[in-house]
Amino acid sequence: MSELTTPPPFEFRKQTLANGLDVIARRRPGIPTAAVNLWYHVGSKDEERNQRGFAHLFEHIMFEGSEHYPGDFFKHLQPLGASINGSTSTDRTNYFTDVPAVHVERVLAMESDRMGWLVPALDDKKLDVQRDVVKNEYRQTHANRPYGQAWRILAEAMYPPQHPYSWLTIGVMEDLDSASRDDVAAFFRRYYVPANASLAIVGDIPEDEAFAMAERYFAPIPGGSRAIRPWTPPVELGEARDLELLDRVELDRCYLVWHTVPQFDGGDATLSLLGDVLGRGRSSRLYKSLVLERQWAQDVAAYQSGRELAGTFGLIATIRPGRSMADVRKVLFEEVAAIARDGVAEEELERVKTMKASAFLFALEHAGGFGGVADRLNAYNIYCGDPSRITTDLERFLRVTPDHLRAAAAAYLDGKPYVGLSIYGRKPAAGVAKVDRATPPPARTPTPFRAPAPEVHSLSNGLPVWILPKRDLPTVTMCVAMRGGAALQPVDRPGLAQLAVSMLDEGTRTRSAARIAAEVESMGASLSASCGWDGAFVSIRCLKTVLDRTLDLGVDVLREPTFPVDEWERLRGQTVAALRAERDGADSRCHRALMKALYPEGHAYRHPLDGVEAVVAGLDRDEAVGFFGRNLGPAQAGVIVAGDVDPDAILSLLEARLGDWRGGAVTLPKIAAPARAERPRILLLNRPAAPQAVVRFGHVGIARGDDDHDPLLLFNQVLGGQFTSRLNEKLREERGFTYGVRSSFDGRRGAGPFAISASLQADKLAEAFEDVRHELDEVLGDRPPTLREIDDARRSLVEGQARHFETPSALVNRYANVFIHDLPLDSLATFPERIAAVDLDSVAAATRRNLDPRALVAVVVADAEHVRTQLESIPWADLEIIED
């Protein structure tokens, strides 16, 4: 396994400046961005008892400006398109900025300035403000959050008072209150120095350039010295300690925590995998035992927390109402004892190893952010002095055997002293009758929800207007929906409809594009023009007080666009550039290849909405003007409005602006469903050095108006429409091959695609393909959806329906969809009744009619050299190599 899952060699360069600053650079061409990541080897472990919270306080202060860059750190960089953040732990503080590569020098200048010149800019006012910010953070994340005191209590119970892990990173408010400017300045000068830091620069910038800029800005700063490992007293527990806490929570929760080993210690990887076997995923021992089978727990977790000075292993279970804390704790101890006695199956260990290997690979995809390449290079450099462990560290996990897990459970957990914390819900006692806890309360029927029905009106020209008053807030959303959309464009001009509709707000007879944008922004409103497969839309969203003015803008864009030549050239050029950029996107390539495989030449759905680069580059402005004139008129339009509106008043406003809108009728084309294939095939698109495989399985599905729509909606929930679906359970939770897998029926006016989508671990493709095919065969054969699965799916859809109607925008979006698909006006209101009426036989019949594994086309975007042999070994499908 290790040969297959160890990440490929990872190239980077490291230099150390004369002042001790480590600088790591990795060139990552492809997109013009870069990640600048700076770690300081200081955390709450480096604080004295009267300094508890200083490291975290500096995480805040460091964003408040330095001598040469005064003011908020974000103020300087966010206008440049930067994403900025930082965090503090017990052992380190990190700061990252992800930015267009051309601005790396600005970031390094600012990072060096706050390293070398922060204290001169630190005054009492800044200190007081940030001290208050930290206090509010403490209230929000600890004092006022359910279970928020658990980690403080556990830390104090696990470690003696002199140990720096006996307090939390956020600190102690009394210490922060008493801290003076001189106190915090002294802490800063000791730890926030080049010799105690590591800088990583990853992105589209030459490494020599990165080193030169680091030298320029950081070399003049005095080096200081590395942090000294603090003295710590022994952390052994003499005996088990059980604690209880009353909290304002609905569900009780228990914690069990043992002392183990620090990070990177010989047993750290073993204990980490042991935690995964116990608590990671639906296939883990505790999840199956407590959540699925006994249904005693709402959720469970198991973890190894290795830190620099010490480590702990923990089990957590949130207990369902009416269940016993004692019973749940008993199961937790029993599962640990079982592993200490009998070990684990090879399959259990392989599952979590695979998940661990996948995590290492996935982390390499991202240059910046928390946990990206730059962050991880710094982590391994700070903790191990070896950034190359960004990939090689996986080896210690792959070497773990079942015997190692058994020995670790016996050595550190089973029968060993622990700290247990039981948190019970604290309920008011006065006036409350004693509860008979032996008898569970009866199940309650969910509050029924019925989608609101619009008031239906029409203007003098016959234009339908659907009004949904919602007066809880003074906001209004309105949409003019026009049937047809991209289905009306010539089949040889893919991309024309979307580009033409996008031009509507680029200038009118009385307003330029700049003026339109300025007016919209000045009102705090929004205006958009968009196009889908079955409709085109002009939408506004605004406060009620500016409805008149916003409506003027929306109608002007709808009725009087002029398609200015300069704006046309710009927008078409941007679209072509975007299409060109999609060549490198695995998801886009995969989707496009699947559509070409399912729909023949001349079919409306052969190409995506945004079109084809060569076609869009050749589109003429007159074609867009013609599309608008022919297809975007009142004959196929309707107005949907929701929010704080009076029907008579809004009708008056609309009549004045749209009552004289005239236009000829448009005949919507019939979109025939092409024949499906008779044997599965696999299309492989090469993406050299791709760390994973992007995969789409699919065949032609159904139209939105098909009678099988509702039964298939239920069926899809079971197959792949939600996290707990069969496909996700198999490929993610059981196998660990993917972060997630989903299936869908994309119902349009014509038969859209049925698709299964996933990004899969490349070395497990053949197994994943067999799993997908097996699940499809099973659902059509010996293991069709059960009544419980369908009832669960039904409940999820019906009980979750209400949240889709919460806002005016949601109402408008839902009813615009009803309008463009010619669905019955009450189709949303009657949804619960229709779904309730779908029985198991109807689901099975609809599935047999519309799911055909023999017709599957699978598109794979991956490194062909690494996956071709696997795909050739699949006996039930023909492999084709696609050059595009």
Q: State pLDDT tens for residues 62-77.
A: 888 889 888 777 777 7
**Residues 188 and 273 reside in one and the same domain:** no
Of 755, 668, 745, 756, the closest CA to residue 703 belongs to: 745
Contact 583, 592 (CB under 8 A): no
669 within some domain: no
The pLDDT value given to residue 438: 46
Using the predicted structure, report yes or no on whether residue 79 has a pLDDT greater than 70: no
The pLDDT value given to residue 7: 64
- Close Cβ partners of 816 (under 8 Å, ≥ 6 residues apart): 479, 481, 535, 537, 640
Annotate 153-164 with DSSP letters as a single string. Answer: HHHHHHS-TTSG
Q: State the pairing for strand pair 241-247/253-259.
A: unpaired
Q: What integer is the mean pLDDT of 472-484?
A: 89
> Hey, CA dihedral for 516, 517, 523, 526, is it positive or negative?
positive
The one-letter amino acid code at 138 reads Y
The least confident of 14-28, 138-152, 483-497 is: 138-152
Per-residue pLDDT reduced to its tens digit, 25-39? 999 886 778 999 999
Per-residue pLDDT reduced to its tens digit, 109-165? 999 999 999 999 888 887 877 776 665 466 556 654 568 889 999 999 999 998 999
236 within some domain: no
Q: Tokens 């730890």, residue?
A: 191
- Close Cβ partners of 98 (under 8 Å, ≥ 6 residues apart): 33, 34, 35, 36, 82, 83, 84, 367, 368, 369
156 within some domain: yes
Per-residue pLDDT reduced to its tens digit, 316-341? 998 987 889 999 999 999 999 999 99
Q: How far apart are CA 57 and CA 63, in angstroms?
A: 11
**Residues 43 and 188 reside in one and the same domain:** yes
Q: How far apart are CA 32 and CA 428, in angstroms?
A: 58
**Residues 564 and 506 reside in one and the same domain:** yes
Q: What is the CATH number of the domain that holds 865?
A: 3.30.830.10
Using the predicted structure, report yes or no on whether residue 570 has a pLDDT greater than 90: no
The pLDDT value given to residue 819: 97
**Residues 416 and 518 reside in one and the same domain:** no
- Close Cβ partners of 627 (under 8 Å, ≥ 6 residues apart): 488, 489, 496, 497, 500
110 within some domain: yes
**How many domains, in total, are found in the chain?**
4
DSSP state of 512: B
Q: In terms of residue numbers, what domain contains 781? A: 681-882
**Residues 421 and 489 reside in one and the same domain:** no
**Residues 623 and 736 reside in one and the same domain:** no
Of 375, 324, 305, 316, the closest CA to residue 90 belongs to: 305
DSSP state of 599: S
**Residues 326 and 414 reside in one and the same domain:** yes
Q: Tokens 């800019």, residue?
A: 121
The pLDDT value given to residue 444: 40
Mean pLDDT estimate for the chain: 89
- Close Cβ partners of 222 (under 8 Å, ≥ 6 residues apart): 19, 116, 193, 194
Per-residue pLDDT reduced to its tens digit, 228-242? 999 898 898 999 999
368 within some domain: no
431 within some domain: no
**Residues 520 and 641 reside in one and the same domain:** yes
173 within some domain: yes
**Residues 186 and 270 reside in one and the same domain:** no
Q: State the pairing for strand pair 637-643/475-483.
A: antiparallel
Buried b / exposed e over 313-330, threshold 16 CB at 10 Å, is bbbbbbbbeebebeebbe
Per-residue pLDDT reduced to its tens digit, 269-313? 999 999 999 998 778 999 889 987 888 988 899 999 999 999 999
Q: How far apart are CA 651 and CA 639, in angstroms?
A: 10
Please list the alpha-helical segments (H only) found in 314-399.
Answer: 325-342, 346-363, 373-384, 389-392, 394-398
Q: Which residue has the higher pLDDT, 515 or 722?
A: 515
Q: How far apart are CA 842 and CA 782, in angstroms?
A: 17
Q: How far apart are CA 500 and CA 198, in angstroms?
A: 51
Q: How far apart are CA 150 and CA 247, in angstroms?
A: 10
Angle, CA 262 vertex, CA 260 and CA 265 arms, to 5°: 100
Using the predicted structure, report yes or no on whether residue 800 has a pLDDT greater than 70: no
Beta bridge partners of 862: 686
Per-residue pLDDT reduced to its tens digit, 194-238? 999 999 999 999 999 999 999 999 999 999 999 999 989 889 899
Taking CA atoms, 698 is separated from 109, 181, 737, 745, in Å, by 51, 64, 19, 10
The pLDDT value given to residue 884: 66
Contact 211, 11 (CB under 8 A): no
Q: What integer is the mean pLDDT of 549-555?
A: 96
Contact 363, 372 (CB under 8 A): yes
Q: Report the C-alpha dihedral over residues 433, 434, 438, 439, rounded to 10 degrees.
A: 0
Beta strands per DSSP E along 578-674: 637-643
Domain boundary at 623, 658, 693, which?
A: 658
Annotate 837-884 with DSSP letters as a single string. Answer: H--HHHHHHHHHHH--GGG-EEEEEE-HHHHHHHHHT-TTSEEEEE--
**Residues 209 and 262 reside in one and the same domain:** no
Q: What integer is the mean pLDDT of 848-861?
A: 96
Q: Tokens 């409506």, residue?
A: 551
- Close Cβ partners of 548 (under 8 Å, ≥ 6 residues apart): 653
Per-residue pLDDT reduced to its tens digit, 393-416? 999 999 999 999 999 999 999 999
235 within some domain: no
**Residues 484 and 417 reside in one and the same domain:** no
Domain boundary at 187, 218, 249, which?
A: 218
**Residues 281 and 351 reside in one and the same domain:** yes
Annotate 723-764 with DSSP letters as a single string. Answer: TTSHHHIIIIIIS--EEEEEEEE--BSS--EEEEEEEE-GGG
